[in-house]
Amino acid sequence: MEAGGLEWLLVPMHQLVSWGAAGAMVFGGVVPYIPQYRDIRRTQNAEGFSTYVCLVLLVANILRILFWFGRRFESPLLWQSIIMIITMLLMLKLCTEVRVSNELNIKRRSFAAADSKDEEIKAPPKRSYLDFDLNYFWHWSKFTDYVQCVLTFTCVTGYITYLWLDSSLFVETLGFLAVFTEAMLGVPQLYRNYQNRSTEGMSVKMVLMWTSGDTFKTVYFILNQAPFQFSICGLLQVFVDIAILLQVYLYSYYPQKPVSHTAHPASTKAL
């Protein structure tokens, strides 16, 4: 009777913990961007945040969703990708609006053909299908250009996935590319710190949030037997986060050289 009563209590508790873990998995990845979004909105300054972070996470999560069609992993991981894509688009929209409002007399750059109604363009006689300079890739003047680029990438990769969906090699490679792209998000910051011999201007709190989040995510992958690509790349993310934390310690207590650049409070995984 006592065992039965204990089981009656443990079952709903286990279910509650499972729901909590799934909810943390779905929404935990976007939590670090909430204070960053509010800070950019408040200060009207997006210099401390690289939109290439959005590019990497958009590519990684689009590929992960396509991977789901070939290998049905847990739905919380799928919803995590959907929520992250929405979050990155919102970050892009805000950063683009802030950057353009702060720029004066800057030539408009776009992904698709220029709109003759654009006030910055004086009735151009010619229109091209792609009106972008490679040097200005992912540095366009309108949020709609980013959306068009993301949709183009999604359609192309989606069509390729549809053609090769029966190939297990392609599906597994797709899954690896999805999680490996996300796992490499912190490497540019690691390299930048190494070049500058300093972590000045970098948010240590953000690093700690990423480390705890990536650790939780990796444990979740392992315990729920997610595809092996998730576990391997999750461990890689944790190692990169720990390496950045080690840089914070080393460069704080053993400074290498004076920093000549202007530091901004930036995302720890800025590119």
3-state secondary structure at position 182: helix
Say how far apart CA 210 and CA 200 lie, in whole Å.
18
What CATH topology corresponds to 184-255? Monooxygenase (1.20.1280)
Check residue 116 and give its pLDDT: 44
User: At residue 50, what are phi and psi to the nearest 5 degrees?
Assistant: -90, 125
- Rounded to the nearest integer, the mean pLDDT of the chain is 79
Mean pLDDT of the 155-183 span: 93
Per-residue pLDDT band for 185 (boundaries 50, 70, 90) equals: confident
Only one residue has tokens 């920093």, namely 259
Interval 34-76: pLDDT, tens: 888 988 899 888 876 778 889 999 999 999 999 999 988 888 8
Q: Give the dihedral sign, CA 46/50/56/61.
A: negative
pLDDT tens-place string over residues 19-32: 777 777 788 788 87
- What amino acid is encoded at 13 in this protein? M
pLDDT digits (tens, 9 = 90+) for 66-81: 999 998 888 888 999 9
Task: Give CA separation, 1 vs 4, 7, 217, 220, in Å.
Answer: 5, 10, 38, 34
- Give Cα 128 distance to the centre of its chain: 31
**What is the Cα Rg of the chain in Å?**
22
- C-alpha closest to that of 182 among 137, 139, 236, 221: 236
Of 102-116, 134-148, 228-242, give the lowest mean pLDDT range: 102-116
User: Position 166: which residue type?
Assistant: D
Q: Is 124 helix (H, G, I), strand (E, B) or coil?
A: coil
The C-alpha atoms of residue 7 and residue 22 are separated, in whole angstroms, by: 22
Residue 113 pLDDT class (50, 70, 90 cuts): low
